[in-house]
Chains A and B, each alone.
Chain A
Amino acid sequence: MTTLPTKTDRKLGLVIDLDTCVGCHACVISCKGWNTQNYGAPLSDMDAYGAEPEGTFLNRVHSFEVTREQAPPMVVHFPKSCLHCDNAPCVTVCPTGASYKRTEDGIVLVNESACIGCGLCAWACPYGAREMDGAEKVMKKCTLCVDRIYNENLPEEDREPACVRTCPAGARHFGDLSDPDSDVSQLVAAREGFDLMPEQGTQPVNKYLPPRARDSLDMPDLASLCDPAPEATGFLGWLDRALEKL
């Protein structure tokens, strides 16, 4: 059914700390690794060793520059994957019922054996979180590692999404965002976590934490610290003086 549940029992999702992320792309690779070898069609690469390689990824890291007034510009690494929206437009547009949002935990999934590969859900997502696989021709998206988080064959500490497990900087957090007492909800409250493109009305579950305010240094006038320009001698000195007179 591609109608959305009116309410989900839990809202599992990610909280991504833009202050801590160092843009290493480790989460991109671990995501691709896990999701290529486990649930669903593998994430293919096209022309992998050719001139124009490209592939299917469920998580990609962009890097932005933020120019501030009265302060040096800031580089912010920005991982982006499906936000498991409460009001997910990608689900309601699906003609086959392949796209759905789970009532028990709010995860948005694709039933690949019912997907006709029409691509409409990818158009409906404002965030570019869905990609049609070039080889399998079915829609791929982040599953929140649904085959890890409930997987009793894995050791307890591995029962979280691959990207969270792998992030060397601790920039990714996983939990239930419907529970105000959960670690992730506390983190969002403490750090003023925000939604991406709230004006699109998607009500994302995933939240982002803004970069913390940077220390400001009373910067001395750097130019005054430089050595005075050396006096030119010889021919250049003559040229310099001659030009000066003009």
Chain B
Amino acid sequence: MHPAPSLILFTTLSGLGFGLLAWLGFGLKAPTGFAAIVFFGLGYALAGIGLLAAAFHLGHPERALLAFTQWRSSWLSREAVLSAATLAVMAPHAAASAFWGTPLPVLGWLGGLLALATILATAMIYAQIRAVPRWHHWSTPPVFLLAALAGGALLAAKLTAALWLMLALSLAMVAHWVAGDRRFAGSGSDAGTATGLGKIGKVRLLEPPHSGRNYLLREMVHVVGRKHAHKLRLIALGLGALGPAFLLMLPASYLTALLALVLHMTGMLAQRWLFFAEAEHVVGLYYGR
């Protein structure tokens, strides 16, 4: 799949933002006063920038409100509804914490649950797509959820939780890669089933339908990324999860926490790039790749 920068930014930044908001919602000792303004501000900003990046991906952003209508069937619509609901429900809790020094735990918890549901919905947009076997697996949602919660914990200065979540994230990423490498073969789709000619013999593309490129190839048959998959996995694992986990084991200081955050975000960008770039779509079978 084409690793569109807008989608990489959307999934990483909004994931991080909603992860932070979840922590702020569930937080037993929620920040108040100026600290609350900073923390909630960061959460809203990250979530908002991510959603804005997603809107840039649309061909007709002016009709984006229609995306709130099909929540009964569509995970993308659910994502839109849940993200808006999270931001709305969390707002009184954020305002009360910041300006009156009294968090509203009920709304905080509700907002936290909605934030988790939003991250899950984002993951399900990809995990539901059967035509991309690598994504269509139970290991996709844990990667998204743990990445958001680990990054969010780091931002919310819940350092012990962040450490354990980073370790869990590294396991989830490895599980997703190991399972993912077998998914295409396991899907049962090959050039034989795609053309239905597999019963007759071995099927090979002789002539593509046109000499140039097309939307399908650009969007769904991205083969460049598959070359560097191995290196990028190491970067994602090392910078995204294990490096920050190591830093979090050192005596806590602003410097180590900041460094852990920078490493984590860099690693997650690599992970997300790879998530798209190495995902094979079955339509490639009609194009011999």
A159 to chain B minimum Cβ distance, whole angstroms, is 27
User: Which residues of chain A come closer than 8 Å to B216, judged between CB atoms?
Assistant: 122, 128, 131
Expressed in whole angstroms, the minimum distance between the Cβ of A14 and any Cβ of chain B is: 14
Residue among B70, B191, B210, B212 facing the most chain A CB atoms (10 A cut-off): B70
Q: Are A120 and B220 in contact (CB under 8 A)?
A: no
Q: Which of B233-289 contact A (CB under 8 A)?
A: 281-283, 286-287
Nearest A residue to B68 via CB reads: A95
Name which residue of chain A comes closest to B218, CB basis: A54
Are A96 and B131 interface neighbours, CB within 8 A? no
A95→B67 contact, CB < 8 A? yes
Q: Does A3 reach chain B (CB closer than 8 Å)?
A: yes
In the complex, A116 Cα to B56 Cα: how many Å? 11
Q: Is A61 an interface residue (CB 8 A)?
A: yes
In the bound complex, residues from chain A placing their C-beta under 8 Å from that of B193 are 196-199
- Given that A63-B207, A64-B197, A195-B196 are contacting pairs, would A54 and B214 also be in contact in the complex, using a CB cutoff of 8 Å? yes
B91 interfacial contact with A, CB 8 Å: no
B201 CB contacts on chain A under 8 angstroms = 66-69, 73-74
CA distance A93 to B125 in the complex (A): 8
> Is A75's CB within 8 Å of the partner chain B?
yes
Q: How far is the CB of B13 from chain A (nearest CB, A)?
A: 18
CB contact between A124 and one of B66, B131, B286 (< 8 Å): that residue: B131
Top 7 A-B pairs, shortest CB-CB distance? A117-B59, A137-B59, A60-B209, A128-B283, A95-B77, A68-B201, A96-B66
**Among residues 173 to 201 in chain A, which have CB atoms less than 8 Å away from a CB atom of chain B?**
194-201
Extra contacts besides A115-B60, A211-B200 (16): CB < 8 Å: A1-B73, A18-B197, A64-B197, A75-B206, A91-B73, A95-B70, A95-B80, A98-B66, A117-B60, A118-B76, A122-B219, A125-B131, A128-B286, A197-B282, A199-B188, A200-B189
Contacting residues, chain B, for A196 (C-beta < 8 A): 193-196
Which residues of A from 96 to 137 have beta carbons under 8 Å from B? Answer: 96-98, 114-120, 122-128, 131-132, 134, 136-137
A120 to B67, CA, bound (A): 12
Quick check: is A34 within 8 A (CB to CB) of the other chain? no
Residue pairs across A and B with Cβ atoms less than 8 A apart, 11 shown, are A2-B70, A53-B212, A57-B214, A60-B210, A74-B200, A80-B209, A89-B131, A95-B67, A116-B67, A119-B57, A124-B128
Contact A197/B189 with A54-B213, A95-B80 known, Cβ cut-off 8 Å: yes
